[in-house]
Every structure is written in structure tokens, then in C-alpha cells.
Amino acid sequence: MDETTNPTEAQELTPWDRVQMARHPQRPHTLDYIAALCEDFTEFHGDRRFGDDPAIVGGLAAFAAHTVMVIGHQKGSDTRENMKRNFGMSHPEGYRKAQRLMRQAEKFGIPVICFVDTPAADPKKESEERGQGNAIAESILVMTNLRVPIIAAVIGEGGSGGALALSVADRILMQENAIFSVAPPEATASILWHDSAKAPDAARALKLTAQDLYQLRIIDEVVSEPVGGAHQNPQEAITILGARLRANLDTISQIEIPTLLKQRYQKYRVIGHYREA
Amino acid sequence: MKEFFRRRKTSFTTGGQSEGNPVPDDMWVKCSACRELVYKKELTDNLKVCPKCGHHMRMSAHEWIGLLDAGSFSEMDTNLLPTDPLGFVSLGESYAEKLAKSQQRTGMPDAILSGVGMIGGRHLALAVGDFAFMGASMGSVYGEKLSRAAERAADLGIPLLTINTSGGARQQEGVIALMQMAKVTMALTRLAEVGQPHIALMVDPCYGGVTASYPSVADVIIAEPGANIGFAGKRLIEQIMRQKLPAGFQTAEFMLDHGMIDMVVERNQLPATIGRLIRLYGTRRDPSERRDPVEQMISAITYP
């Protein structure tokens, strides 16, 4: 991606171009969206078990006419912040903090909005020791039957189980240059072809763009970005996504909880392609 | 419903595809752990646990049926076949070729076998993965069969046993594979609603999206001795994260020490252990009766 991309070229972005845009350091991140879209954001910390993970942020905020629990992966915009945020790769305590906040949202009948932006879950030794697999599994479980509306917005990289742990939702929105993938394309290329340099080929094969995933009916809505991508005009990107979040939240807040849970069950239950002989 | 319980003959064979290097005359197998030669018949009788060193060799999905009461297993959902939903453009072998090879090697349509059987004379639903089929990776067929197994167990009011060994989500099905983690977890909420347990057995090796979903939130998690269990693979941690890993990292015993699983159980003790659990869960009071009506609870409150 070079900086001079114009709208006509934008029609022909390759999946690998989208990966680069999704990872662009100047792309707005979770806290940028919260700061611009919400009032009275009050950040909560800690999983009450081990520690606080700066790679996931969350708390209560006023959004449109609602009090919401906002939770999101948080990447940094520079190296220093990225070190602090572990590049948005959450540890088990990050997922456990998210679970805690979701349970609290359920307790008070507050809708949940998740911002998804992570390359993957943290793959370090310490995360294994503290049960990374269990933490992600618990997050998925909490979201399957949480008795409040959940909206997930993929605003950058939706990488593997680490992303899924914040995106089991009633509505999944995805920005047009965001990606959502079973694994980072470098990992897929390494697993299948033993060469992470083949990531651009993996990016194409994986069908990880918002447009592909809308066609595959994995996501509910593709949200447009300013010309050249969200990093070119963060304020506009935030405004556009904010409007779509508000519209979706207004709609699903009207649905009775038992109906909402039935619809959520059905939404995930039908995902899959197989032949019945 | 009776159809589910009709017994179909399932042959229990030792597949040549799983662990243990065959030596020329096919009567003897070399243990991959202690390198000793073991008489094949003895190994089969011992549920593929090396009689010399106790190493638990990998078993095919069909071999795992041997845990159930003899002749009790009825396989289900045999008609679900994989497709190539993404038209996955591979630089190497195509997805279709990989599937065909694995189908030929294992005799299974995909990486999972499911059905209904008994342990200790009690019914249970079973789903078991086969590592020889593309590393028992979780794709659409895996997710659908497992979800149906969970829903069937819920409908019949019987426990679910999952036997898990996997490399993770199937790359060739992209996000559709990733979403199976959520789908199966969703289906398992139905089982929870009817108060039936999900018992997960984790065997060597179990990684990625499978470890990070349904088995890790089972009611009881059992692992076999020495089984490698984790989320991120050791090679990734060592080579990309450049961390040194201690001996015994990500073994069943490591998982037990870190509070991630309930118990480590040797293979020959599995039927007795699982049978006992099913009996214990099965003879409790019906959960719907457990709670008295709210009115009664209120009237029962006494004030000093």
C-alpha cells in the first residue's frame, strides 16, 4: 500500500493490500473510537485473579441513548505503546477481564460493544501456563448465552481465536479494510507451505476480507471507510462506524432477550459448509 | 429415537496409520518412546499402551470405540461430507487432494467419528477425533457432527463424551473453521440446559482452536499421561517468541499442575473412571426439581 492510493485503484485492492491497511499503525484503535463516540467512559481494570492486561481495555460508557459496556483489543500507535499493549495480543487475564465485564453488563442489563483488533492471542510461555486455551474457551462460552445484546465491530485485524473471544455477537460489523482470519496469513503460509513469506498467497486463499466474509454470511455488515482507508481520515472512519453501531444497537435493543438468544444460537449453529450424501 | 440405539456392527481394528513404526514381519511394533519391540497382539490387548514403558500411543478414532461397552456403539451422521467452501487456492496440494488422501488412509469422510454407545451399561453420546485425518483439524464437518452429538445428547438426556486430539482449526476452511469453535460451544449450551454433563478427554496431541474451545470448558476434563496439550505450539513459542521451554511443558501433568484439567488417567482406567462419573452425575436429583418454587423459598425464610 502506498499513500497515494486513489478511489479508482481502491477497487482493485488485493487481500494482501487489505492486510496492510488493517495493520496500519495510524488506523484508529479501540480507545480512539471510545474517546470520540462515547461520553463518560470509565475504564475498569483487572481480572480479579492474576492481573490487568493492557492488551484489552474495557469499561462503562454512555453511547447515544444507551449505557454500554465497551470492550476491545488495544493496539498501540507507536513502538512504545505497542510494547505496553503487547501489540494487541491478549493474555489470559485480558480475556478473563472481558468475561468479568460481560457478566457485569448482564447483571445490569447493559448492552456490550466489542472492538476487535488483534493479530492473535498472545502465544508466550506465560500465557500457556495461565491457560490461554481455557481463557479463550471461557470467553466464547460467556458470549454464547450472555443475556444482553452484543455487537462486535472488527476495526483492524481479527486474528484467530484471540479475535473470536470478543466476536461471538448478535451483530458482527466489519470495516471494509479490516480482515478476519482463522490465523494470521503468515501462520497459515507457514503451516501449509512451510514458508511465511507466502503470506500474500495465504491472504488471498483464506477469504479474509470483509467483502468475502459478507458473501460467506459470517459477518452482518460491511462498514465503509474514508477514501484511502481509515488511517487517511480517522475522524471520518470513526463517525461512519459510530453511526452503524448506533443503528444496530437501536435495533437489537428492541428484541426480547429470549428471542435474541434464540437468534444468536441459530446464527452460529448454521455456520458451516458440508454435503449430506 | 430408537433408531439411535440400534446396534450396528463396528469392527475394532488396529489401523496401520497411527503411531508405532511397523517392523518387517508386521507382528512386532517398535515403541516410539522406549524403542523396544512389542508384540503387536499384546499391544492391541493393552489398548496401545506400551507394556514395556507405559507410553500411550496414538489411537485412531475407530480404536477409541474400544473404550465403550463391547458392541454398544452405533455410528451416526456418517452421511456428512466435507466440501471446499472457499475454493481454497493452495500453493501445494489442493484441499480436495488432501481430503481424498486422508479419506483413503483412514476410511473416514472427515476427522471425526460420532454416535451413541454405552460405558458401564449407561448410555452416552460420543464424538472422537482422528489425528491421522489432516491432524484432526476442525472444519465444517467436525463442527456439525460435534454440534449434532451435543444436541442429540441433550434431546436424549444422556451425557456427552468427547475425545479430543487436534492441531486446531482447519486452515483450508478459513473463518468458517474458526467459527466452528463458537458453533460447538453454542450447541453445548443445550446440553447444559438439560443438566447433562460434557466429559472431555484430551489425548496427544491437542492444540489450537480445539484446546481454545469446547473441551476446555467441559464439566470434567481428563487427560492421558504424557499427552501434549496447549494452545500455541511449542515450535512457535521457541522459534518465534524465542523462549526456552522447560521439560514437561504442555504435558497433561503440566496442565494438571496449572489447574487447567481435573485429572490425568491412564488409558486402561478410562472406562472405569468415565463409568463412575456418569453414574455419579446420573443418580443425582433432576436439576429441575432441585430448586423449590420461589413461594416456598420465601415462606421458608425465618427472621430472628
* pLDDT per residue as tens digits for the range A214-266: 999 999 999 999 999 999 999 999 999 999 999 999 999 999 999 999 999 99
Mean pLDDT value across residues A149-172: 98
- Collapsing DSSP to helix, strand or coil, A87 comes out as helix
Q: Which residues contact A125 (CB under 8 A, 6 or more apart)?
A: B237, B241, B243, B245, B249
User: Across all residues in chain A, what is the average pLDDT?
Assistant: 95
* Predicted local distance difference test score (pLDDT) of residue A4: 46
Is residue B285 scored above 80 in pLDDT? no
Where does the pLDDT of residue B21 fall: very low under 50, low under 70, confident under 90, or very high at 90 and above? low
Radius of gyration of chain A (CA): 18
Is residue B29 scored above 80 in pLDDT? yes
* pLDDT per residue as tens digits for the range B80-96: 999 999 999 999 999 99
Note whether A206 contacts B189, CB cutoff 8 Å.
Answer: no
**Residues comprising chain A, all counted:** 277
Is residue B22 scored above 60 in pLDDT? no
Cell numbers for B83, please give them: 466440501
Residues of A in contact with B245 (CB under 8 A): 125
* pLDDT per residue as tens digits for the range B167-178: 999 999 999 999
Residues of B in contact with A121 (CB under 8 A): 212, 231-232
Note whether B82 contacts A274, CB cutoff 8 Å.
Answer: yes
* Predicted local distance difference test score (pLDDT) of residue B283: 73
Alpha carbon distance A148, A247 (integer Å): 17
Residue from the list A125, A141, A188 with its beta carbon closest to the beta carbon of B245: A125
**Taking CA atoms, what residue in B is nearest to A204?**
B89
Note whether A268 contacts B179, CB cutoff 8 Å.
Answer: yes
Interface check for A81 against chain B (CB to CB < 8 A): the answer is: no
Alpha carbon distance A199, A178 (integer Å): 16
Give the residue from A215, A183, A238 showing the smallest Cα distance to B173. Answer: A183
* pLDDT per residue as tens digits for the range A28-56: 999 999 999 999 999 999 999 999 999 99
| Phi, psi values for residue B74, rounded to 5° | -120, 120
Name all domains of chain A by residue range, CATH numbers in brackets.
15-269 (3.90.226.10)
Residue from the list B79, B176, B181 with its beta carbon closest to the beta carbon of A161: B181
Mean pLDDT value across residues B44-53: 92
Is residue B1 scored above 60 in pLDDT? no
Residues of B in contact with A91 (CB under 8 A): none
Q: At what angle do helices A257-269 and B174-193 cross, to 10 degrees?
A: 130
Is residue B35 scored above 90 in pLDDT? yes
Q: Which residues contact A178 (CB under 8 A, 6 or more apart)?
A: A18, A22, A154, A155, A156, A157, A158, A210
Interface check for A50 against chain B (CB to CB < 8 A): the answer is: no
Task: Using CB atoms within 10 Å of the CB of residue B201, give its burial: 0 to 12 exposed, 13 to 18 middle, 19+ buried.
Answer: buried
Where does the pLDDT of residue A12 fall: very low under 50, low under 70, confident under 90, or very high at 90 and above? confident
**Residues comprising chain B, all counted:** 304
Interface check for A132 against chain B (CB to CB < 8 A): the answer is: yes
Q: At what angle do helices A132-144 and A257-269 cross, to 10 degrees?
A: 130
Q: Are B230 and B258 in contact (CB under 8 A)?
A: no
Residue from the list A124, A144, A213 with its beta carbon closest to the beta carbon of B182: A144
% chain B with pLDDT above 90: 82
**DSSP assignment of A154-218:** EEEEEEHHHHHTT---SEEEEETT-EEESS-HHHHHHHHHS-GGGHHHHHHHTT-BHHHHHHTTS
Where does the pLDDT of residue B4 fall: very low under 50, low under 70, confident under 90, or very high at 90 and above? low
Helix (H) or strand (E) holding A140: helix A132-144
Is residue B148 scored above 90 in pLDDT? yes
Cell numbers for A200, please give them: 500474500
* Predicted local distance difference test score (pLDDT) of residue B106: 96
Helix (H) or strand (E) holding A108: helix A92-108
The CA distances from residue A39 to A33, A151, A161, A189, B123, in Å, are: 11, 18, 30, 43, 55
* Predicted local distance difference test score (pLDDT) of residue A206: 98
Burial B261-298, CB ≥16 within 10 A → b, else e: bbebbebeebbebbbebbeebeeeeeeeeeeeeeeeee
* ipTM value for the complex: 0.95
* pLDDT per residue as tens digits for the range B226-242: 999 999 999 999 988 99
Mean pLDDT value across residues B103-126: 97
Is residue A2 scored above 50 in pLDDT? no
Is residue A3 scored above 70 in pLDDT? no
Where does the pLDDT of residue A185 fall: very low under 50, low under 70, confident under 90, or very high at 90 and above? very high
* pTM summary value: 0.91
Mean pLDDT value across residues B292-304: 61
Interface check for A207 against chain B (CB to CB < 8 A): the answer is: yes
Higher pLDDT, A84 or B297: A84
Where does the pLDDT of residue A8 fall: very low under 50, low under 70, confident under 90, or very high at 90 and above? very low
Higher pLDDT, B260 or B32: B260
* Predicted local distance difference test score (pLDDT) of residue A138: 98
Where does the pLDDT of residue A100 fall: very low under 50, low under 70, confident under 90, or very high at 90 and above? very high
Alpha carbon distance B248, B227 (integer Å): 10
Closest Cα in chain A, distance from residue B118 (Å): 27
Is residue B287 scored above 70 in pLDDT? no
| Phi, psi values for residue B295, rounded to 5° | -55, -45
Where does the pLDDT of residue B20 fall: very low under 50, low under 70, confident under 90, or very high at 90 and above? low
